[in-house]
A and B are shown apart, each in its own frame.
Chain A
């Protein structure tokens, strides 16, 4: 077996192997076996490395501890949901009993106020990042098109974009917090302040790559297509709708994928500081908590954050495949 793998890995013998093995076996090897080997090697290094790092909270968590925590976190979620439904059942029963005694009784319903579970926090994070991303897209794509179409506007705006692009979310956050506190004053707010703060921070950080990519896409419009539009005397709006927008779809998607990746990274930092009840807050709370499980729970969050980031990127990619006419763009 090991000699077979060694043979498969060395390119020299590839043709010999191909002659021996049916194609589906080779395909399986390439798409399943190789990544599995990669993951196994990583797990090995992780376990060995983790065993050799001692912290004040115990050893660095290895794969086994993380797996345990995945189970724990899921069980906590199930328990919390059970408690919640039990709470509502008790409340309903109590109210019905009171109503049976006294028909004029105004039933009181209170919402369950248990703390968010890990699963709830994942959803909070997803909603926050998507809201921030969508707000950014709504601003960035039209702005990018305008900048791409007008050279003067580009010259005017470009320095500002280049200066704001590299700014870390952590620099924006205090400003956003103060502004939101001052401006967003409602007695019955639809959204929590922490949500708004995190969302705006995400928006501020992921708007720039989208603006830049969109404007580059629009500016590098094939001049033949522009001439076609001129010969047809397309009105400005039709020109944008029929020529500019479809032509720059691939570039817009590249910008959107880049932005969504940044948004997800920024979000965790923003949630830590803004205390938005998402994954960032989870990590921060566990860090402050400092129990013997904390590190393995944080490590679990790290892996979940990675997985979700990966899934977000793949979703974006699938969307691009469906919506973009340019099927030739290398997709990695």
Chain B
């Protein structure tokens, strides 16, 4: 894969150091990743490894201590709608309906380029895309968790972002709803072909959705451990893939990374503090 042909986003040697009362805490060390236009990237790793920090730096919500993020040849250092974020807890404004939540974003982004009529159509188009057109005038507390997350995705898509950032978008949902949402997301991806960075804990989700899976080492000073290209034909079907040996090969590679190479040793057993390449600790 040529990394320069359609280069959209360059995460360039990011270090992230948080000052704490006990001294500096290095969360990220030399995270370096180039992302092409239209690529679907999953960030996977154990909790606390700094996946969210990477996403927040790309979103502009955090400032990298050194290194930087270059989008379309320009460095970004503040948040903006061209890097829309889908937050883990939907983060819809509870006093607005689904429609109004999307409207807030659309009015902010397209105030100068779309007429009121066009804006209305654009809002409705995006809600339809996530299958929420039937409940678009309901408030967040009147709809289910999965539906809220759909509206959250519609809001992000409606900003027409260059990169869509998703922070464990389905983490708070039950397994069946999650599967349903993944299918919806693939459907949307087929249509829009967005560039996506998604954080996930779920190995199946990562393999099913991604073009590349970026596996992160454990913190502190976390960085990218391995990158796995997923060369599976699209559209992908969860049922067919379940029997596919290549799919299962990818799956086991990610599992091996997570549970063998980067086995998370909880601090309860203080004697086993080494984390990497301990072949004896088979999960």
Interface residues of A (CB under 8 A from B): 222, 224-225, 227-228, 230-234, 238, 242-243, 246-247, 249, 325-328
B109 adjacent to A222 (CB under 8 Å):
no
Chain A residues with CB under 8 A of B95: 246-247, 249, 325-326
Q: Is B104 interfacial (CB 8 A cutoff)?
A: yes
Interface of A is mostly: helix
For B80, give its contact among A222, A224, A231 (CB under 8 Å): A231
With a 10 A CB-CB cut-off, give which of B78, B104, B159 has the most chain A CB atoms: B104
A224 adjacent to B94 (CB under 8 Å):
no
CB-nearest residue of chain B to A242: B104
Q: Is B258 interfacial (CB 8 A cutoff)?
A: no
Q: Which segment of B81-89, B127-135, B187-195 sits at the interface?
A: B81-89
B91 adjacent to A225 (CB under 8 Å):
yes
Q: How far is the CA of A224 from the CA of B78 in the complex (A)?
A: 16
Chain B residues with CB under 8 A of A246: 93, 95
Shortest Cβ-Cβ A-B pairs, 10 listed: A325-B95, A224-B91, A230-B79, A246-B95, A232-B108, A231-B79, A224-B87, A231-B85, A228-B91, A232-B105
CB-nearest residue of chain B to A233: B80
Q: How far is the CA of A231 from the CA of B78 in the complex (A)?
A: 8
User: Known contacts A227-B61, A233-B81: does B94 contact A325 (CB below 8 Å)?
Assistant: yes
CB-nearest residue of chain B to A324: B95
Chain B residues with CB under 8 A of A325: 94-95, 139
Please name 16 further chain A to chain B contacts, defined as beta carbons within 8 Å, in addition to the given A228-B85, A231-B81, A325-B94, sorted by A numbering.
A224-B91, A227-B61, A227-B87, A230-B78, A230-B79, A231-B79, A231-B80, A232-B104, A232-B105, A234-B108, A242-B93, A246-B95, A247-B93, A249-B95, A325-B95, A325-B139
With a 10 A CB-CB cut-off, give which of B84, B108, B141 has the most chain A CB atoms: B108
- A313 → chain B, closest Cβ, in Å? 24
- Which residues 82-125 of B sit at the A interface, judged by CB distance below 8 A? 83-85, 87, 89, 91, 93-95, 104-105, 108-109
Interface of B is mostly: loop
Q: How far is the CA of A327 from the CA of B141 in the complex (A)?
A: 10
Chain A residues with CB under 8 A of B89: 224
Q: How far is the CA of A327 from the CA of B78 in the complex (A)?
A: 35
User: Known contacts A233-B80, A325-B139: does B105 contact A227 (CB below 8 Å)?
Assistant: no
CB-nearest residue of chain A to B108: A232
- A142 → chain B, closest Cβ, in Å? 20
Chain A residues with CB under 8 A of B154: none
- A-B contacts, 29 listed (Cβ < 8 Å): A222-B91, A224-B87, A224-B89, A225-B93, A227-B61, A227-B85, A227-B87, A227-B91, A228-B87, A228-B91, A228-B93, A230-B60, A231-B59, A231-B61, A231-B79, A231-B80, A231-B84, A231-B159, A232-B81, A232-B109, A233-B80, A233-B81, A233-B108, A234-B108, A249-B95, A325-B94, A325-B95, A326-B94, A326-B95
Chain A residues with CB under 8 A of B104: 232, 242
Q: How far is the CA of A242 from the CA of B108 in the complex (A)?
A: 12
CB-nearest residue of chain B to A234: B108
CB-nearest residue of chain B to A224: B91
Q: How far is the CA of A247 from the CA of B159 in the complex (A)?
A: 23
Chain A residues with CB under 8 A of B83: 231
